[in-house]
Structure 1
Amino acid sequence: MSDATPPAPGPDRPREEGLVAGGAHGPGRLRALTAIVLDTLEDAAPARGGPLPAGGPEAVARNTLARFDPVLPEEGIGPESALGDLVRAVAEGAADPADPACVAHLHCPPLAVAVAADLAGAALNPSMDSWDQAPAAGVIEEATTAALARLIHPTALAPDALITSGGTESNLVALLLARERATPGTLRVVTGSNAHHSVHRAAWMLGLPAPVVVACRDGRIDPAALDDALAALAGAPLLVVATAGTTDEGRIDPLPEIARVAERHAARLHVDAAYGGPLLFSERLAPLLAGLEHAASVTFDLHKLGWQPVAAGVLAVADAGMLAPLSLRADYLNADDDTEAGLPDLLGRSIRTTRRPDALKMAVTFRALGRRGLGGLVEHCVRTAQEFGRAVDARPGLRRRPGDIGISTVLFRPAAADALPDEAGDAVVAAVRRTLLAEGRAVLGRALAEDGDGRRRLWLKATLLHPDAATADLLPLLDLVTAAADRAAADHAAAEAPAAEDTDAPLAERLSP
């Protein structure tokens, strides 16, 4: 047998040894491949030339597909070439949140230390659904969730927290837990018009009645309107969902007043603090979340103001007993006798089965920076937003939404849009955003919000999450917006001039780049 010719490569034999990332020899192989990734990433940003590629969706699709056609070739081209091609495609075609001009969404540039930790997690690939797949990773998750639970519910007797994929899953699980504790009758959810869409989707997914929506003032729930809505639902089990950091404006609902109203009507309180929760890291900013301690459950994200790679969501509860409905037995994962013998049961820690070790990158970041370091980064973003808002106020061609700045979100619009009727002005704002996207020069968001006169208008949105971008790095955005607004206003004037031929075409289309 020792003299036999080895079998030729085939479906039952890999073409080369050392394919996996783990084990004794995996890191060496991974080191060589990682070097290709890092070199390609380093080259791609200058090649892209801005915060996102120019040309719009068609150009991006064409350029991206050209690098990996066919997707599934008959014969592979090898890991080095495949990595080089695809990483270059995704990097040159990225909307890069590390670029100061990429400020549209709650989409942060991840910290290098968190990305490095995520690489380790990917290489080891623990699955967080049973102890024998994730012995140490399970310990890290338990310790990390315990620390977050104490941060969010410092006075609770038995707080706990779960790792989720983000705010949408956290809100879904919060409504699920509230539904399971609702007696007698069907749970009624009451929330503000400022609530994240995931609250409504969660109610639909769980077979609950559509949430009752109460009015907001200045982007925040009106406690008096909430009081009236809860009184009208007297007798039903109630869940109030408040928001600490709205997606469009960064507004924080008046949590102390909401908590008092909820208690008066025997309603449970859930707070969606996916955006604002990390304010707790800062001693100076934590008071903005006063009242959060009264919530039965809290959504908290670290892939926003926590600078973690997606995904890094958390759902914290004031009482660990609330999590009991998630308990589940699957003999191959958490058999009774295994649990009795001391093997930890991980299956009841999520509505998912297979899960990545997302707590690892959080734990590494916490250890690396500490609460003070994280708080300093949060304060930097809040301070930068205030400075950016003042810069907008100082520009004659721009106007900021009246009122205070919400966390690190600044809404503004060109004055040229204000000189037009509402619909035409909003079309100019939309055209400015799309023009800068198509040119690859800036990624600004959009938000409909009330103006000082009470009318809803379209605003450009800058969500500032960069942990070390200075205000000076952001000022060129204002020049880009002003120039694009002048062009959009001129296009509008030309289109409206002498009885434009195509007056049936929507103005937004006529102003599209």
Structure 2
Amino acid sequence: MRSHLLNGLTAEHYRRSVTEGVERVAAKLATTDRPFTGVTVDALSPRIDAIDLDRPLGDTAAVLDELEDVYLRDAVYFHHPRYLAHLNCPVVIPAVLGEAVLSAVNSSLDTWDQSAGGTLIERRLVDWTAARIGLGPAADGVFTSGGTQSNLQALLLAREEAKSDSLAELRILTSEVSHFSVQKSAKLLGLGPDAVVAIPVDHDKRMQTVALAHELERCTKDGLVPMAVVATAGSTDFGSIDPLPEIAELCARHGVWLHVDAAYGCGLLASLRYRDRIDGIERADSVTVDYHKSFFQPVSSSAVLVRDAATLRHATYHAEYLNPRRMVQERIPNQVDKSLQTTRRFDALKLWLTLRTMGADGIGQLFDEVCDLAREGWKLLAADPRYDVVVEPSLSTLVFRYIPAAVTAPAEIDRANLHARKALFASGDAVVAGTKVAGRQYLKFTLLNPETTTADIAAVLDLIAGHAEQYLGVSLDRAS
């Protein structure tokens, strides 16, 4: 069994095995003609359940043959131009190379004596991102597993910085379309069920600053403590960006921590043409970024940044076996001092190799392309009498609803849209997302693939309409 341990004696075995795996994936990518096969849970589960994990195959080729049957054949492929569903981007090759390197070396980014150069690379990328945001010379941060963890850590820091002796008094103010992780974080932080206050949004799904100002004043009047305002730079459903300068001004006036959730909108930090859409982000106390959403990185690659490095002390604990206090005086850089995680992958390497190969402008050009695509898609939807589109895109998301000419019952239209999404997924021809707007069922394109074209969008709209019309035809036949 030692022949399977990766070391100097097995380097050739490692090379052959990984090469064989890469060749299988490359062949699959080259021949995949749709984003999904349409396989069902009931069809796939028995194949996986039948595998006896206590009887290994022993041979790499046999294992990869089996993997083809239980995973590669039926995976959902984000690289396909008609995958239009969630915030999953196709990935760039330098980042995939980084994934291979970091997995093999297997550095753990909690302490210097487990990572050395990895620690310094992550710190350099944190500094680079903070500079792109404009947080100032005292900024710092750490890589995380994703936006949910980043938001949790930012709100932990905000809670500890808040001047209150009672958790029951604390309030988090955020827009009604912000990410669900804000509510989840409040619960994990021990706050009460009323802790998160939803601020109404305008027609463009942006936080209403008048309503925010009113709520901040109400908190003061009622003896409550607004521990944080969470502004969104790229909402999950709409890609909407809150008015960051006005929100920052209100937070400064009331002495409230401003957190900007830019998990999606962080791609604008590299944009060549649309960076001004997140002006005001430089005034934040903390910022969430997800490189694996809009920097074309594999999951996971994310970070939380803070304006004042000193606030990260609220996540610091010292263990004698790992990061004793003396190491601080010895200026040994242990990233665990800043992180909610202990053992942590060297995910920063993927972004490092991407920047060193493509440059920030290369990333920005790709993100600008999907923003441009969303604008063209919006024009298609706005001109198509079959569809109602909710808002003009600020980033690369389109939310819309099929409206049949012969049906007026909202509930029946809801069912037609829901059926169309499910039928499209089952066909494997395309994958789209869904959401609700004002209680009604809508569909969603999340456009993160520069290879997607307006022709792809038009074709998928026709497929959606066809599935919806088929459902309504069957429904009307049954009714008659």
TM-score range, shorter chain: over 0.9
TM-score normalised to structure 2 length: 0.93
Who is 2:173 aligned against?
190
1 CA distance for matches of 2:251 and 2:327?
Answer: 42
Select which of 37, 52, 57 maps to 1:70.
52
**Equivalent of residue 137 in structure 1, options 106, 118, 138:** 118
User: Does the 8 A contact of 1:117 with 1:360 survive in 2?
Assistant: yes
Measured at CA, do residues 28 and 88 of structure 1 come closer, stay the same or move farther in structure 2, by a change above 3 Å? farther
What pairs with 1:357-372 in structure 2 (closer than 5 Å)? 357-372=346-361
**Of 3, 14, 24, which aligns to 2:8?**
24
Q: SS of the residue aligned with 2:17?
A: helix
From 227, 231, 237, the counterpart of 2:225 = 237
Q: Which amino acid letter does the alignment assign opposite residue 459 of structure 1?
A: Y
CA distance in 2: counterparts of 1:269 and 1:471, whole angstroms:
38
Q: Which residue of 2 aligns with 1:441?
A: 429
Which piece of structure 1 moves more, 375-384 or 42-51? 42-51
- 1:40 equivalent among 7, 24, 30: 24
Mark the CA change 1:65 to 1:116 in structure 2 (over 3 Å): closer, same or farther.
farther
Identity %: 34
- What residue is the counterpart of 1:466 in the other structure? 449
The count of aligned residue pairs is 471
**Aligned equivalents of 2:255, 2:306: Cα separation in 1:** 18
C-alpha deviation, 1:358, in angstroms: 0.5
- Corresponding letter in the other structure for 2:42: E
- Aligned equivalent of 2:93: 112
Q: Separation in 2 of the partners of 1:40 and 1:88?
A: 12
Decide whether aligned partners of structure 1 residues 495 and 228 sit closer, same or farther in structure 2, where only a CA change above 3 A counts.
farther
Q: CA deviation at 1:459?
A: 1.5
Q: Deviations over 1:206-226 (max 9, x none)?
A: 101331112111212111111
Letter in 1 for 2:211: A
Pair 1:486–1:244, CA change in 2 (3 A):
same
For residues 477 and 228 of structure 1, the distance between their equivalents in structure 2, rounded to whole angstroms, comes to: 43
Q: Deviations over 1:481-502 (max 9, x none)?
A: 12112112212212322xxxxx
SS of residue in 1 equivalent to 2:260: strand
CA-CA distance at 1:467 after TM superposition: 3.1
Partner residue, 2:465: 482
- Equivalents in 1 of 2:321, 2:390: separation in Å? 58
Partner of 2:185: 202
2:474 counterpart residue number: 491
Native 8 Å contact 2:260 2:281 kept in 1: yes
Partner Cα distance (2:413, 2:209) in 1: 33
**1:52 — aligned with what?**
36
Mapped to 2, the partners of 1:406 and 1:400 lie a distance apart of 17
SS in structure 1 of the partner of residue 441 of structure 2: strand
CA distance in structure 1 between the aligned counterparts of 2:41 and 2:202, rounded to whole angstroms: 37
Residue of structure 1 in register with 2:395 after alignment: 407
1:97 to 50, 75, 78: 78
Equivalent AA in structure 1 for residue 52 of structure 2:
P
Cα distance in 2 for residues equivalent to 1:400 and 1:371: 36
More divergent stretch after superposition (385-394 vs 174-183): 385-394
- After the TM superposition, which of the residue ranges 353-362 and 136-145 deviates more from structure 2? 136-145
Local SS of the residue matching 1:481:
helix
Shift in Å, 1:354: 0.5
Q: How far off is 1:58 after superposition?
A: 1.7
2:137 is equivalent to residue 157 of structure 1: yes
Note the C-alpha offset of 1:265.
2.1
Distance 2:95 2:26 in 1: 18
Give distance in 1, aligned partners of 2:394 and 2:420. 23
AA aligned to 1:223 is T
> Displacement of 1:78 after TM fit?
2.9
Aligned-pair CA distance for 1:464? 0.4
Stretch of structure 1 that moved more, 208-217 or 56-65 = 56-65
**Is the contact between residue 433 and residue 444 of structure 1 (CA under 8 Å) also seen in structure 2?**
yes
Q: Is the 8 A contact 1:274 1:300 kept in 2?
A: yes
Q: CA deviation at 1:134?
A: 0.6
Could you tell me which runs of 5 or more consecutive residues in structure 1 were left unpaired when the two chains were aligned: 1-13, 451-455, 498-513
Q: Structure 1 residues 163 and 46, CA, compared in 2 at 3 Å: closer, same or farther? A: closer
**Structure 2, gaps ≥5 residues long:** none
Matched, 1:169 2:149: yes
Superposed CA deviations along residues 117-150 of structure 1, whole A, max 9, x for unmatched, are 1110000000111111111111111111111111
Amino acid in structure 2 at the alignment position of 1:71 = L
CA distance in 1, matches of 2:333, 2:440: 53
Pairing of 1:81-480 with structure 2 (within 5 A): 81-154=62-135, 156-185=136-165, 186=167, 187-209=170-192, 210-218=195-203, 219-234=205-220, 235-238=223-226, 239-396=228-385, 398-416=386-404, 419-450=407-438, 456-480=439-463
Letter in 2 for 1:423: A
Of 378-387 and 337-346, the range deviating more from structure 2: 337-346
Question: Which secondary structure state, in structure 2, belongs to the residue aligned with residue 216 of structure 1?
Answer: coil
- The separation in 1 between residues aligned to 2:97 and 2:218, in whole angstroms, is 52
- Kindly name which structure, 1 or 2, has the bigger radius of gyration based on alpha carbons: 1
1:25 Cα offset (Å): 4.4
**Contact preservation (8 Å) 2:375, 2:392:** no
The Cα shift of 1:174 comes to: 0.6
Distance 1:328 1:88 in 2: 46
How many angstroms apart in 1 are the aligned matches of 2:326 and 2:139?
A: 27
- The CA distance in 1 between the partners of 2:458 and 2:225, in whole Å, is 50
Shift in Å at residue 24 of structure 1? 3.2
CA contact (8 A) 1:417 1:429 kept: no
**Shift of residue 374 of structure 1?**
1.2
